[in-house]
């Protein structure tokens, strides 16, 4: 029940975001005196509407977005009444049209920033010092969790009959113990622990010093043998090394909360990191298409592949079902920021495409004026229709691909 509630709640959040996106276009257009005739949430048949002034507001039957109709967005619009010609959007200065067309993305950015600021004061934001590289992981304190067995090589799988029992478990070490020494050699970080263990021959007895609940102690256990590559060359040849049958417990908190003032700076840093990550994700989109297709045809789903609104809603449902509200909020923030950036790409029919054309017209007029040549006028949108249809076709195919992958082989952050 909580999963379904989470799915509906996240989908509702997306619908509200898109509706506010269109409201951003509408409000800025009205502020400049442009005529807005319709503002609807959803598509398809009209369920309910009312008229206030010159604008009709309402709700349609398919809750998959929304739209607002601004009169005369392009010179080729043929539904502009003679009395409205002066208020046609394309006649306004380019800076006003830019504000109106970018207002939707600005709304998404504002939602992401406000949500991140509130999260910074409550649930917390991702810790910038959380270990994300092998070197940072090696520098973590040597706090351990006990494994059931020691696998014979680097191939990851569940423990099976015949696998070596965990020496740590046999030595009565426990989850949460912090290793302090190996055969008298002091150990502080996890990297030092691994180095100290590899300095001991496999199959020999080692004395392990540890700290547990503020109390120190020692234990003896026979180290198991496994095959691993050199520490300084993960791709190098594997050799027999000693293993304790443990894994690292990362003690650095994943989320950090801040006060109201500190949250401003933390939010700015977080949004900067999100901007870099979003730009990198957009650059990698083409190379992720084969991985998406592979996940549909029976392969394992790469957690780094794009997801659709369906997949995001599923993850939102999982987050609520597992009481992981911080993940729910991070998904909401990331999705709004991504939509805001994506919508500004200079491609028709995206808002960024209209902005690019407006500034292209302005630059071209400036150049022609300097050359003392007649102004070439406005761009003919009809000539761009083949390119626009191509973008729509590619975008639609990509959306269908991600939705199919999210239905057939969805990404999950929690064990099933």
Residue 228 has pLDDT above 70, yes or no: yes
Name the pLDDT band for 273 (thresholds 50, 70, 90).
Answer: very high
> What does the pLDDT look like over 3-23, one tens digit per residue?
889 999 999 999 999 999 999
User: Taking a C-beta distance cutoff of 8 angstroms, is the pair 344, 352 a contact?
Assistant: yes
The separation between CA 195 and the C-alpha centre of its own chain, rounded to angstroms, equals: 36
- Stretch 317-338: mean pLDDT, rounded? 92
> What does the pLDDT look like over 40-69, one tens digit per residue?
998 889 999 999 999 999 999 888 788 999
> What does the pLDDT look like over 145-167, one tens digit per residue?
999 998 888 888 888 888 889 99
Residue 415 has pLDDT above 70, yes or no: no
Give me the pLDDT at residue 179, please: 94
Give me the pLDDT at residue 133, please: 86
- Give residues with Cβ within 8 angstroms of 131, minimum separation 6: 137, 139, 140, 250, 252
Question: Is position 183 within any domain?
Answer: yes
Question: Is position 206 within any domain?
Answer: yes
Measured from the Cβ of residue 33, the count of other Cβ atoms closer than 10 Å reads 10
Name the pLDDT band for 416 (thresholds 50, 70, 90).
Answer: low
Q: Which of 110-119, 138-147, 265-274, 294-303 has the lowest mean pLDDT?
A: 294-303
Helical packing angle, 325-343 and 94-121, nearest 10°: 170
Instruction: Give whole-number Cα distances, 342 to 109, 148, 357, in Å.
Output: 12, 46, 17
Residue 293 has which token pair? 């297709």
The domain in which residue 187 lies consists of 134-248
Q: How many domains does the chain have?
A: 1
Q: Which of 22, 192, 318, 361 is catalytic?
A: 22
Question: Is position 176 within any domain?
Answer: yes
Q: Is 22 a catalytic residue?
A: yes
Give this prediction's pTM.
Answer: 0.85
Secondary-structure percent of the chain, ordered helix, strand, coil, rounded to 5:
50, 20, 30
Question: Is position 261 within any domain?
Answer: no
User: Taking a C-beta distance cutoff of 8 angstroms, is the pair 88, 77 a contact?
Assistant: yes
Question: Is position 198 within any domain?
Answer: yes
Residue 353 has pLDDT above 90, yes or no: yes
Name the pLDDT band for 332 (thresholds 50, 70, 90).
Answer: very high
Give me the pLDDT at residue 183, please: 94
Question: Is position 390 within any domain?
Answer: no
Phi–psi pair at 151, nearest 5 degrees: -75, 150
Vertex 143: Cα angle to 140 and 148 (nearest 5): 125
Query: What is the C-alpha separation between 68 and 52, in angstroms, rounded?
Result: 14
Question: Is position 156 within any domain?
Answer: yes
Beta-bridge partner residues of 210: 179, 217
Name the pLDDT band for 295 (thresholds 50, 70, 90).
Answer: confident
- Give residues with Cβ within 8 angstroms of 341, minimum separation 6: 105, 275, 278, 279, 282
Question: Is position 8 within any domain?
Answer: no
Query: What is the greatest pairwise CA distance in the chain?
Result: 94
CATH number at residue 198: 2.30.42.10
First to last CA, the chain: 16
Give me the pLDDT at residue 272, please: 94
């Amino acid at each position: 029940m909580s999963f379904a509630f989470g799915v509906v709640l996240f989908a509702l959040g997306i619908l509200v975001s898109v509706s506010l996106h269109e409201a951003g276009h509408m409000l800025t257009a009205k502020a400049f005196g442009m005529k807005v005739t319709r503002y609807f949430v959803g598509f398809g048949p009209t369920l309910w509407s009312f008229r206030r002034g010159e604008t009709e507001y309402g709700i349609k039957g398919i809750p998959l977005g929304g739209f607002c109709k601004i009169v005369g967005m392009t010179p080729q619009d043929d539904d502009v009444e003679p009395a409205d010609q002066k208020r046609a959007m394309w006649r306004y200065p380019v800076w006003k049209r830019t504000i109106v067309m970018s207002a939707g993305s600005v709304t998404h950015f504002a939602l992401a920033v406000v949500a991140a600021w509130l999260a910074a004061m409550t649930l917390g934001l991702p810790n910038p010092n959380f270990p994300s590289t092998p070197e940072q992981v090696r520098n973590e304190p040597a706090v351990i969790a006990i494994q059931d067995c020691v696998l014979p090589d680097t191939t990851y799988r569940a423990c099976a009959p015949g696998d070596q029992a965990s020496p740590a478990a046999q030595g009565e070490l426990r989850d949460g113990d912090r290793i302090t020494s190996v055969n008298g050699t002091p150990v502080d970080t996890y990297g030092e622990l691994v180095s100290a263990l590899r300095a001991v021959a496999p199959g020999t007895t080692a004395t392990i010093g540890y700290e547990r609940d503020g109390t120190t102690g020692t234990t003896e256990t026979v180290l198991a043998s496994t095959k691993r590559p050199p520490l300084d060359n993960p791709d190098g040849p594997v050799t027999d090394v000693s293993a304790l049958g443990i894994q690292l417990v990362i003690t650095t908190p994943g989320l950090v909360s801040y006060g109201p003032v500190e949250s401003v700076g933390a939010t700015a840093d977080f949004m900067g990191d999100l901007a870099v990550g979003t730009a990198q994700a957009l650059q990698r989109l083409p190379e992720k298409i084969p991985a998406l297709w592979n996940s549909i045809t029976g392969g394992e789903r790469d957690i780094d592949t794009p997801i659709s609104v369906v997949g995001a809603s599923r993850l939102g449902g999982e987050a609520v079902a597992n009481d992981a509200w911080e993940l729910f909020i991070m998904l909401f923030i990331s999705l709004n920021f991504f939509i805001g950036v994506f919508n500004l790409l200079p491609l028709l029919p995206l808002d960024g495409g209209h902005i690019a054309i407006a500034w292209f017209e302005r630059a071209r007029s400036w150049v022609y004026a300097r050359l003392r040549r007649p102004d070439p006028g406005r761009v003919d949108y009809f000539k761009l229709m083949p390119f626009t249809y191509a973008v729509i076709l590619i975008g639609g195919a990509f959306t269908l691909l991600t939705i199919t992958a999210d239905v057939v082989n969805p990404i999950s952050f929690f064990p099933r």
